[in-house]
Structure 1
């Protein structure tokens, strides 16, 4: 029986994915942490690890593990550190997958390959030229290019998925912080941030898409953007967070220009753009190629995310 090899199994996306995959597949895990989800082969994702034993009998690799984007990175050379895992480490794993006869390599990348914002432009599409702006995005873009080239040379099928912000039960960082803030029922100054649009994807929809990409014949050698296909303004996002927590939406009408001025004065333009700007994904190619529709609603994902806010 052929197996699937999953990296990043201890993470937010990988944990749920493995629970679903175990229902239909034999899975192996590649990483450093112990797990009851499957047989763990303990290796780092780097330039030198030997994955021969882990890849034996594997038909598809689902590569989720990465050095992730973090705010206020203190690394002296962030790009080199991101490349070591996300680019060089990924290519080492993929080359050994070719040697082991793996048929398909599914790479969970990031919408940061496309860029940081769609404010004042059309939504990102799968066919857009990469335009990453930070070390994390650059490392992911380089990995994608190297994987696609390896696929052409070797015949191993490459599938690339670029999600935006992923949320759901157990989500952390800014999404969880905002959810917790809304849960307090305090007035928040977001009512007038209603002309922007942001694409999100629940972990439940992303896991469903990954499973489709493992088996669908038309997924081979394709790049897929991923979202819930239901974009929200900041005001709509806060209103939905209030609704799923049965809290009043006490949104104050602070003009958007006030946020932008504050961002300029404090040198936090990027932070303010994430709050007031747009980041939209056009997933038409994903839906048409795979015959896929996100099976879960945005409200479904928000309700589950609220459970641990």
Structure 2
């Protein structure tokens, strides 16, 4: 297939492009800037600049069979934009709708959209994982922009006949991961005592190799058309279990302190880090049985394999940064 991948130089994008090339697809990479490194084997690179309602996609979608739309304004921990809600909407909602309309007009058959579990909210009900049938309840501007984009895409698909598949991943990890997961790996590597030994929450993760495999599988399946899928590696695990698994991948002993979660929540409030603390202590589990049953999909990598690939790569990058 001729596949256009937006955000092709991002964390997920680089892994997806490589996976698609290995499967024999002809991949066109759409990137924001022309000074980025991309995996070998791609058929072409298109520079799109900033994404918004006026982006001209015409020349990029001609002759394309499928589009995988990964490019987005992502969740920002330290927001500096004076009007973040408007900025999220310009890129994630109006920019996505602009691409979908151009794709439909050019005869593209299938658009795969990478949304987020944040469409459902920040915390799953206790003992009850999120399912696709649950009413969306985003809690921040990023989550709302993803949900509005999904609704805009559904409307365009209904009007034009464009095939649409939506993925809502939880935290994605893998070689090159940064943000909170990368910081957690670094703290375990440095042997910093972590106060999560008494935490018994349930959180789902997905290895980037599993996510890209599912996206690639959906491109070849008519069963994926018109569907929204949650995805994960499998059974959720607690923050303490995750730390132990990361330590095993490093052949280290985890340094976990059994501090009561109530005290950790209080500390989060006092230090102004309530949101970060809630993510480490709360549940965010997903049920991905729809994806597995409808597409017959099984994750090709388990948690241990995913962490084994992630931790050495993250460790090497961390050491380079320290040398610099």
User: What TM-score do the two structures reach when normalised by structure 2?
Assistant: 0.92
Residue aligning to 1:248: 253
RMSD: 1.3
Residue aligning to 2:140: 134
**Alignment equivalent of 2:235, drawn from 230, 241, 262:** 230
In terms of mean alpha carbon deviation, does 182-191 or 171-180 score higher?
182-191
Residue aligning to 1:172: 178
Cα offsets for 1:21-44 (capped at 9, x unmatched):
113111112222334534112213
**Alignment equivalent of 1:262, drawn from 263, 267, 275:** 267
Q: Tell me, what secondary structure is at the counterpart of 1:41?
A: strand
* Equivalent pair of 1:162/1:223 in contact (CA under 8 Å): yes
Please list every run of 5 or more consecutive structure 2 residues that lacks an aligned counterpart in the other structure. Answer: 316-324
Residue aligning to 1:20: 19
1:212-231, aligned counterparts within 5 Å? Answer: 212-231=217-236
CA drift at 1:101? 0.3
Cα distance in 1 for partners of 2:239, 2:205 equals 12
* Equivalent pair of 2:94/2:149 in contact (CA under 8 Å): yes
The runs of 4+ residues in structure 1 deviating greater than 6 Å are: none
1:71-86, aligned counterparts within 5 Å? Answer: 71-86=77-92
Residue aligning to 2:320: none
Residue aligning to 2:303: 298
The alignment status of 1:110 with 2:116, answered yes or no, reads yes
Please list every run of 5 or more consecutive structure 1 residues that lacks an aligned counterpart in the other structure. Answer: none
Cα distance in 1 for partners of 2:59, 2:302 equals 40
CA drift at 1:121? 5.5
* Equivalent pair of 1:9/1:15 in contact (CA under 8 Å): yes
CA drift at 1:48? 1.0
Residue aligning to 1:159: 165
Cα distance in 2 for partners of 1:302, 1:108 equals 22
Cα distance in 1 for partners of 2:140, 2:262 equals 26
**Alignment equivalent of 1:39, drawn from 41, 44, 49:** 44
* Equivalent pair of 1:10/1:33 in contact (CA under 8 Å): no
Q: Tell me, what secondary structure is at the counterpart of 1:58?
A: coil
Cα distance in 2 for partners of 1:190, 1:131 equals 28
**Alignment equivalent of 1:288, drawn from 279, 289, 293:** 293
